[in-house]
Amino acid sequence: MRTRPTSRLRLDRPPHPLRDARSEKLFRQAVAHEMLLAREAGRDRGFDPSDARWQLATQTQQALQGAVLAYEDRRRLLALAQRLGIREFDANLILAIVQDRARRGEPLETAAPTIAIVPPVPSDANLPSVGARDHTLLWIGAVIAAMAVDAALIVWLIFG
């Protein structure tokens, strides 16, 4: 005859004490309320159409062929992101988010809370950048200034 051990763990009973029915109901209501609030908060997070991140996302959505983004389109979108003032890493992240939504068959609007994680473009990013001609003039000025300093140093060493 075999005896059963008395200190056996029972799997049908949870390790913590059971709540009474009223507290269990209140707990479930609180959890459901939090879930509804989280869902509504995600739904209300739309973007202003003039937001650079959202512009890039909509352009990406239009460039997609199914869920695939052609190499030429990716390069064009990254150039657009640079003009909009979005960092390259952030631009690639936005492209990946939009592609992922397309793969799952979800609309672009569901990506708004995820795209909101990407840092916004600073307000000074829309200022015009310095052109190539301006860089050339800066280099010419730097070379002339260096030559003037060298000439002054030579004169000081010889006659000073």
Please list the rounded mean pLDDT of every run of 10 residues in the chain (160 residues): 54 56 84 74 61 92 91 94 93 94 90 88 58 75 90 89
Q: What is the pLDDT of residue 38?
A: 66
What pLDDT does residue 49 have? 74
Write down the pLDDT at residue 160.
74
Q: What is the pLDDT of residue 44?
A: 47
Q: 68 has which bridge partners? A: 65
Looking at residue 90, its pLDDT comes to 93
In contact, 74 and 98? CB cutoff 8 Å = no
Q: What letter would DSSP give residue 15?
A: S
Q: What are the distances in angstroms from CA 46 to CA 19, 51, 74, 111, 136? A: 40, 10, 24, 9, 43
| pLDDT value at residue 22 | 81
Q: Which amino acid is at 151?
A: A
Q: What pLDDT, on the 0 to 100 scale, is given for residue 124? A: 57
CA gap 64, 130 in Å, rounded? 32
pTM value is 0.51
Q: CA torsion sign, 107 to 109 to 113 to 119?
A: positive
- What residues form DSSP beta bridges with 65? 68
DSSP 18-52: PPPHHHHHHHHHHHHHHHHHHHHHHHH----TT-H
